[in-house]
Amino acid sequence: QVQFVESGGGLVQPGGSLRLSCAASGSIFSIYAMGWYRQAPGKQRELVAFSTGGSTGYADSVKGRFTISRDNAKNTVFLQMNSLKPEDTAVYYCFANDFKRDYWGQGTQVTVSS
C-alpha cells in the first residue's frame, strides 16, 4: 500500500498564496513523477502541474503563478500557489507514478474567496 499525507489547503482571499505539500510512503519505490491534479465542482479533473526527474509542466491556467518542487529524498512534492483566483477553487489531488501506475492522495480543499 501507498500512503499520502497532504497538507496546506484552506481558505484564502483572491490574490493570496498557499503552499501544498504531499508526502508519499509505503510500497512505492523509484518514483518517476509526482504532481497535482484538481477538480472543481461539476468539472473534470485536470492536471495542474507535474515534475519528473528532469522536467516540470504546468497547465496554461496556472503558468507564472504556481511552482512545483520536489524533495526526492523524502518522496515529497510541493505546490506553491501565488496570485490565487476564485477559479482556482477545487480539491487538489497529489499523485505519484513509479513507472508502472499512478497512486493518488485523498485530496485537499483549496477555496479562493473574499
Q: How many helices (H) and strands (E) does the chain have?
A: 0, 11
Q: Please list the pLDDT of the chain residue by residue as tens digits (114 residues).
A: 889 999 999 999 999 999 999 999 887 778 899 999 999 999 999 999 999 978 999 999 999 999 999 998 999 999 999 999 999 999 999 999 998 899 999 999 999 999
Q: In the block, which residue shows the cell 509505503?
A: 26
Which pLDDT value is given to residue 26? 85
Return the C-alpha cell found at 59.
497547465
What's the rounded Cα separation, in Å, for the pair 22 and 14? 23
Which pLDDT value is given to residue 74? 92
DSSP state of 77: E
Phi, psi of 102 (to 5 degrees): -95, 145
Largest CA distance in the chain: 42
